[in-house]
Amino acid sequence: MAPLNMVFGSVLRKNIIFNNAEVLYKRVNLVNAYSMYGPQFVEPVYKKDKQESMYESGEIENILHVPVKAARVDATCSVFHDELVRKFTNLVMRDGRKILARELIEEAFEKIKRIQLQRYHSTEDPEKKTSVLTDPLKIFHAALANSKPVLQLTPIKRGGVTYQVPVPITDKRSQFLAMKWIILAAKDKDPKVHFPEKLAWELVDAAGNQGKVVKKKQDLHRQCEANRAYAHYRWS
């Protein structure tokens, strides 16, 4: 980051110190080369409730008279739209077949509901009954939260030897890893089992803090713990 900060210091004549890329992108509207939008364009706000809250807090004043980028095709103002599910759909998608990917996920959600409803109806104890989650969206979020790692191993070469060094990772990276692991776990199946069905089971398992994905996360954490002696190689 240091050389970048110097560059920006000289170009923008501002002494701003950015310690990570995200802050940098926010402060300076970095634009892709050949982007159809100039640097003055802002991202669209396509959610109704977000717009309303922006009006209430007065935040809207900042972007009211600024050109806005066109909304993406998957940006919908539907009340059922969920940003994480959208992201997950894009990771499930292969060869741009988004409709198929969306159908698979919807089918998985339906299956989750069936699994959990059966559990709900089969538990007799009324106290336990209320604790059975039947909302597929909540289960998805819980599964994702339970599968997110906090550390990762990076190969770093010191003195001719490559060490697996534990490094902290960003929230975005850990979210990506969690999604990737869930999808990989769901694809590791018998050819007769359909993807949505296995995905449903993986999500239900992960939401209950068990199953393949959570084990994978725990293994990684254990490995990081074992390699803690190499941690200093990250900076020295």
Three-state DSSP at 42 gives strand
- Per-residue interface string for the shown chain with other proteins, residues 83-102, x marking contact by CB under 8 A: --------------------
Q: Which of 19, 29, 51, 118 binds other proteins (CB under 8 A)?
A: 118
Which range binds other proteins by CB under 8 A, 56-64, 105-113, 158-166, 184-192?
Answer: 105-113
Are residues 29 and 18 in contact, defined by beta-carbon separation less than 8 angstroms? Answer: no
Instruction: Please tell me whether residue 114 binds other proteins under the rule CB under 8 A.
Output: yes
Which residues neighbour 215 within 8 Å (Cβ) at sequence distance 6 or greater? none
Instruction: Please tell me whether residue 197 binds other proteins under the rule CB under 8 A.
Output: no
Instruction: Please tell me whether residue 218 binds other proteins under the rule CB under 8 A.
Output: no
Which residues neighbour 122 within 8 Å (Cβ) at sequence distance 6 or greater? none
Instruction: Please tell me whether residue 106 binds other proteins under the rule CB under 8 A.
Output: yes
Question: CA nearest 214: which of 135, 133, 138, 149?
Answer: 149
Instruction: Please tell me whether residue 119 binds other proteins under the rule CB under 8 A.
Output: no
Question: What is the residue whose two structure tokens read 């990081």?
Answer: 224
Please identify, using beta-carbon distances, which residue of 136 and 166 lies nearer to other proteins. 136
Question: CA nearest 153: which of 136, 130, 177?
Answer: 177
How many alpha carbons lie under 13 Å from residue 93 in its C-beta half-sphere? 13
Please identify, using beta-carbon distances, which residue of 104 and 177 lies nearer to other proteins. 104
Q: Which of 61, 74, 135, 219 binds other proteins (CB under 8 A)?
A: 135
Amino acid at 107: E
Q: In the complex, which residues of this chain contact other proteins (CB under 8 A)?
A: 78-80, 105-107, 109-110, 113-114, 117-118, 120-121, 134-138
